[in-house]
Structure 1
Amino acid sequence: MAAAAPGPAPGLAPARRGRLRVADRVYARIAARAAREVLAGAWPAGRVKGAPPRVTVAVPGSTVTVRVELELPFPADVAGLARAVREAIAARVAGLTGTRVSDVVIVVEKLVTGGTS
C-alpha cells in the first residue's frame, strides 16, 4: 500500500508556500523538441536534411516568448509547417511548465530541397 502524497503545507497561503522558477534552457529544450517532432513528418522517410531548430527564449515576467529558427523542406507547405510548429510549441511549453506562452516567432532561415511534394 502506497503512502499518500503530501499536500500543501496547512495554513499557508499559496503565495507563502514558495515559487517555482523554470530555467530558460528548459523552455528552449521543450520548444526545440516540439519543433523537431512536428518537422519529422515533413521529410520523406524521416531523413531530416536541415539543421536542428535554434531556439531562444525570453521570460518577461510570468510569460515566455519563444523564437525558433528553422530550416524547412522544399517543396512543402511552409505556412502550414510554421503554424503547426507554433501551435505545438505553445501547447507543449504551457502543458509541461504551466507558463503562458505570449508569443512564438518562427523564422525560416533556409529551404532545403528534398521535402515531400
Structure 2
Amino acid sequence: MAALVPAPAHGEPGTRGRLRIADRVYARIAARAAREALAEAWEGRTARGGPPAVSVNTPSSPGGPVTVRVAVDLPFPADLTALARAVRDRIVSDVRALTATRVAEVVVVVEHLVPEVAG
C-alpha cells in the first residue's frame, strides 16, 4: 500500500498567484441577473423584449470594482423605476456572490418600452 505524501507548501494564499476574471464572465452573470430580475414583469405577456446587452469595464488593478452597463427592454405600462432598480440590485448581488468582486456602478439603460399587443 502506498503512503500518502503531503502536498508541498506553496506559500500563503495571497502569494501564490492572481485570479483574473474575464469581462465576458461578468457580462454573462449580469445578463442572466437582468433576465431573472425581469422574468416576473414579462410573465403572462405575449409581447417580449429582446435579451439584455451588457458591457463591463474591469479595473486596471486586480481586485478593484467593476462597472456594468446593461441595456434592457421593459414592458409597458409598468413601474419602470422599480424594474430598473430590481435589475441593478440583482446584478450587484449576483456578481458579488459569484465572483467576490465589488460592483462600483450599474448603469441601466432602457432601450425600448414594449407595449402589450392587443389580441
Whole-Å separation in 2 of the counterparts to 1:97 and 1:70? 23
- 1:93-112 maps to which residues of 2 (within 5 A)? 93-112=95-114
**CA-based RMSD:** 2.2
**Greater gyration radius:** 2
Structure 2 portions without partners, runs of 5+: 1-5
Alignment map for 1:17-32 (pairs within 5 Å) = 17-32=16-31
Give yes or no for contact 1:44–1:114 (8 Å, CA) kept in 2: no
8 Å Cα contact 2:68-2:107 kept in structure 1? yes
- Count of residue pairs brought into register by the alignment: 109
Moved over 2 A (4+): none
Q: TM-score, normalised by structure 1?
A: 0.84
What is the distance in 1 between the residues matched to 2:46 and 2:33? 17
CA distance in 2, matches of 1:34, 1:46: 20
Unaligned segments of structure 1, at least 5 residues:
1-5
- Aligned 8 A contact 2:47 2:116 in 1: no
Would the alpha carbon gap of residues 95 and 48 (structure 1) be closer, same or farther in structure 2, given more than 3 Å must change?
farther
Percent identity (aligned)? 58
SS at match of 2:41: coil
Letter in 1 for 2:17: G
Which residue of the partner structure matches residue 3 of structure 2? Answer: none
CA contact (8 A) 2:10 2:16 kept: no
> Alignment partner for residue 75 of structure 2, among 66, 73, 76?
73
